[in-house]
Amino acid sequence: MRVSKWGNSLAVRLPKALVEQLGLKEGGELNVVAVGNDTIAVETKEARRFRALDQLSKRKWTLPEDYKFDRDGANER
């Protein structure tokens, strides 16, 4: 892939096969993060959401037995 100038930013054009594999559409959003000095990782926002929910569900968080949720108290300003 080639990096091109797009306004004041740089852009990468995604090959059609990759777009189809990821199920991307125009206007879709991706997360791109640096993984080391010369590597990037790309994931769809939906995949990131599922990964985050999966990580949360693996934690066995419990509330104390005497915990009472007070909606009015939680919404006080």
The predicted structure's pLDDT at residue 46: 82
Q: Judge residue 9's burial from the number of C-beta atoms within 10 Å of its C-beta, 0-12 exposed, 13-18 middle, 19 or more buried.
A: exposed
Could you tell me the maximum CA-CA distance found in the chain, to the nearest angstrom? Answer: 59
Amino acid 26: pLDDT: 92
Catalogue all structural domains in the chain, each as residue range(s) with its CATH number. 3-74 (2.10.260)
Asked if residue 23 has pLDDT above 80, the reply is yes
Dihedral, CA of residue 53, residue 23, residue 45 and residue 61, to nearest 10: 0
- Tell whether the model's pLDDT for residue 47 goes beyond 90: no
